[in-house]
């Protein structure tokens, strides 16, 4: 069995990247795995020192079958940098492992991902092999090692390029407009994930960051991949016990953390078992409520946010998305002129 390639887009967080790579090296499959790293160009001078540290570090990496390094000459941002790496591996690999630079993995991570990618490569209803398990489903008397659920977790995940292409073809503005305008599609999103529902509702007229790139195009993030799975009744493989943990909520990347940065440590015990042979908990009528509740609790939002989302959808149903978006653009423009402020949500592109 051919091992999946590993791709890591990165920029300036040498400490995180080193932890990530070293945890991968601790997997016995590392020596049979091709590693691809793309170092993005810093968007501003404040990233320069970390950027230089990352360049110096990646040139020292060993322990993999091959180490393939790319250094960008202009800033791409996390999404386009990932797409760049996918293009680089496409001639040699169809299956690959994607991870941001701030994840840490158990010693059986690569074995588990490769097992799943081989087992489900021909199952068109399985979208990805995820390594993070922050659901409570398997703790409720179930003894399976993994489950199948329409919930995509991005913290170290196995993919097939040919399945990614189908996702990309679906996630175009035309498809999203159908979701914006179709009450049944909206209900389906809200049923399984109020958080995903909220993001899509807001994007329908606000084009909110980080859902959109600088050119207003869709950003390649896990929200959209959750939308794809939910709307198309596809599932991801989720382990009963997590095989990854994320260190990115320390203020160093896109996501901020309310805790003191110096004290931030993920409170997740990694799984070090080497077998996962039990039959999965499948997404079906018998487990639908359990799956839905777990997903809803993971991606919960406030009553105020739900009210806002409902308001946006009401506008869409009355005026249509195109007209609603046009009205909102006028409101944003007037806001900017009257208050001399920018009402957009665009942030400087960072990693994490």
Tell me the C-alpha to C-alpha distance, in Å, between residue 99 and each of 131, 153, 157, 173, 261: 10, 11, 7, 26, 22
pLDDT given for residue 343 in this prediction: 45
pTM (two decimals): 0.81
- CATH number for 5-171+218-298 (one of 3.40.1710.10, 3.30.450.70, 2.40.50.100, 3.90.550.10): it is 3.90.550.10
pLDDT given for residue 135 in this prediction: 56
Residue 186 CA, distance from chain mean position: 21
Token pair, residue 344, equals: 């957009």
pLDDT given for residue 216 in this prediction: 67
Beta carbons of 193 and 295 less than 8 angstroms apart: yes
Secondary structure, 3-state, 255-315? CCCCCCHHHCCCCCCCCCCCCCCCCCECCCCCCHHHHHHHHHHHCCCCHHHHHHHHHHHHH
Which residues of the chain register pLDDT less than 50? 140-141, 257-260, 262, 267, 278, 281, 283, 293-294, 298-299, 343-348
According to DSSP, residue 152 is labeled: -
pLDDT given for residue 351 in this prediction: 58
Distance between CA atoms of residues 58 and 196, nearest Å: 35
Count of C-beta atoms within a 10 Å radius of residue 104? 23
pLDDT given for residue 145 in this prediction: 72
Q: Give start-end residues of each CATH 3.90.550.10 domain in the chain.
A: 5-171+218-298
Cα dihedral across residues 295, 296, 301, 305: positive or negative: positive
What percent of the chain is modeled with pLDDT above 70?
A: 71
Taking only the tens place, the pLDDT of each residue in 4-60 is 999 999 999 999 999 999 999 999 999 999 999 999 999 999 999 999 999 999 999
H or E element that contains 21: helix 14-25
pLDDT given for residue 11 in this prediction: 96
Taking only the tens place, the pLDDT of each residue in 72-109 is 999 998 888 999 999 999 999 999 999 999 999 999 89
pLDDT given for residue 191 in this prediction: 75
Tell me the C-alpha to C-alpha distance, in Å, between residue 158 and each of 45, 52, 118, 155: 34, 29, 10, 10
Three-state SS at 245: strand
Gyration radius from the chain CA atoms: 21
């Amino acid at each position: 069995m051919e091992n999946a390639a590993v791709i890591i887009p990165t920029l300036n967080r040498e400490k995180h990247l080193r932890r990530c790579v070293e945890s991968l090296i601790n997997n016995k499959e590392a020596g049979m795995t091709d590693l691809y790293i793309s170092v993005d160009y810093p968007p501003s001078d404040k990233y320069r020192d970390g950027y230089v540290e990352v360049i110096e570090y990646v040139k020292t990496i060993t322990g993999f079958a091959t180490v393939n390094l790319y250094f960008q000459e202009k800033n791409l941002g996390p999404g386009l940098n990932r797409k760049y790496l996918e293009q680089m591996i496409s001639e040699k690999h169809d299956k690959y492992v994607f991870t941001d630079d701030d994840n840490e993995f158990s010693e059986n991570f690569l074995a588990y991902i490769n097992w799943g990618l081989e087992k489900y490569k021909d199952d068109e209803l399985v979208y990805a092999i995820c390594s993070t398990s922050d659901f409570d489903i398997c703790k409720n008397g179930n003894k399976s090692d993994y489950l199948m659920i329409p919930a995509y977790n991005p913290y170290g995940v196995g993919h097939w390029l040919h399945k990614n292409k189908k996702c990309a073809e679906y996630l175009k503005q035309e498809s999203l407009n159908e979701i914006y305008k179709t009450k049944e599609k909206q209900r389906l999103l809200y049923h399984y994930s109020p958080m995903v529902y909220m993001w899509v509702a807001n994007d329908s007229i606000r084009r909110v960051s980080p859902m959109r790139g600088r050119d207003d195009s869709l950003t390649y993030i896990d929200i959209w991949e959750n939308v794809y799975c939910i709307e198309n009744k596809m599932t991801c493989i989720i382990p009963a016990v997590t095989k990854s943990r994320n260190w990115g909520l320390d203020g160093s990347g896109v996501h901020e953390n309310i805790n003191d940065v110096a004290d931030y440590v993920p409170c997740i015990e990694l799984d070090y078992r080497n077998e996962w042979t039990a039959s999965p908990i499948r997404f079906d009528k018998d487990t639908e409520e359990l799956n839905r509740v777990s997903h809803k609790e993971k991606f919960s939002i406030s009553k105020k946010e739900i009210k806002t989302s409902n308001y946006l959808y009401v506008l869409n149903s009355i005026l249509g998305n195109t007209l609603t978006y046009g009205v909102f653009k006028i409101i944003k423009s007037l806001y900017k002129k009257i208050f001399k402020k920018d009402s957009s949500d665009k942030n400087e592109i960072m990693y994490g």
